[in-house]
Amino acid sequence: MKHPKQKIEQYHLHKAHPEKLQFEVYDLNMYRKKSGDKSAVPHSHSYYQIIWFFEDGGTHDVDFKCFDIQKNTLLFISKDQVHAFDDNLEIKGWLIHFNESFFMHSDVDIFLKYNLFNSPQNPCYSIGNELVEVGFSYISLIQKELTKRESFGSEDVIRFLLKSFLINLERVHRKSVDQRIELTSQYEFQFYKFKDLLEENYAKNLSVQSYAEQLFVSSKTLSTITKSMVSKLPSLLISERVILEAKRLLRFTTLQISEIAFRLGFDDASYFVKYFKRHMDISPSAYRSATTN
């Protein structure tokens, strides 16, 4: 008989020691051997994670997708995403952890956050030899700086090195998919702010109007913003985020349907069942049975 699982396990970086540098680099092989089975169980983080796999082989699960690992694949795991390693403990690579407070200091950071770490369609990149060499250089410089983290300006040096590395990754990615990097669109930053608000409030059952008021725009303008950015109405983005969390809780916990409904801001569990079925064409209980057996 399975033990009741009331929540998805979440790990933190220096939560009890906010005075510490909110950034770490680990040898992936050593980290996996130390963590053992724990990393292979679906879990989430309150921080951002970059996993650089050096070699072909194995898979990695991110939310509800399984990615085949190829040589020099980088996975970008956002905070609160549910992911799991496979059972290969001999994996080689790097693991980079950092909290949002370490990273979010400019408009460029906001752009990178939403294009690297919040892209469910493409949370992984495979990089070529030239960028591998550049990446190794950045990681080497970061590791060197980490040995003198008490020195003047060390945190800024590490932050700038990390940002430079991510900018180089995004440049190459944009070139490969023939997309220009635009940082001037007013809609873009309003859209990112909406996404932040949605992440903070998706379980509060807020209306589109409520989100618009917090952004100091009209509901019509918010709709224009989201349609311009992702060709979706804000109401659909809200429901997609609620459904994502519902799927996580159904698959990775043993909470009752009524408990999940309550956690997601539904006063009436029967309405949650109808809401889920309307968006997924399957009931919550049927979804749980199909994904956990």
Q: What is the pLDDT of residues 75-133, one digit of tens each?
A: 999 999 999 999 989 999 999 999 998 988 877 788 788 878 876 566 788 899 989 99
Give the closest residue to 194 by CA, choosing from 160, 161, 217, 162.
217
Domain 186-292 belongs in CATH node 1.10.10.60 = yes
Cβ 51 vs Cβ 123: under 8 Å:
no
Question: Is the pLDDT assigned to residue 241 strictly greater than 90?
Answer: yes
Give the start-to-end residue ranges of the domains of the chain.
Answer: 10-176, 186-292
Ramachandran angles phi, psi of 66, nearest 5°: -110, 120
Cβ 245 vs Cβ 200: under 8 Å:
no
d(CA 100, CA 234): 25
Across the chain, which distance is largest between two alpha carbons, in Å? 58
Per-residue confidence band for 3, with pLDDT thresholds at 50, 70 and 90: low
Which one has a higher pLDDT value, 187 or 233? 233
| Percent of the chain at pLDDT exceeding 70 | 92
Question: Is the pLDDT assigned to residue 146 strictly greater than 90?
Answer: yes
Superfamily of domain 10-176 in the CATH hierarchy: Regulatory protein AraC (2.60.120.280)
Question: Is the pLDDT assigned to residue 293 strictly greater than 70?
Answer: no
Cβ 257 vs Cβ 285: under 8 Å:
yes
Tell me the CA distances in angstroms from 41 to 83, 178, 214, 254, one per residue in order.
8, 37, 37, 15
Cβ 257 vs Cβ 268: under 8 Å:
no
Question: Is the pLDDT assigned to residue 213 strictly greater than 50?
Answer: yes
Question: Is the pLDDT assigned to residue 176 strictly greater than 70?
Answer: no
Give the highest mean pLDDT range of 37-41, 104-108, 177-181, 204-208.
204-208
Give the closest residue to 117 by CA, choosing from 104, 134, 136.
104
Tell me the pTM.
0.89
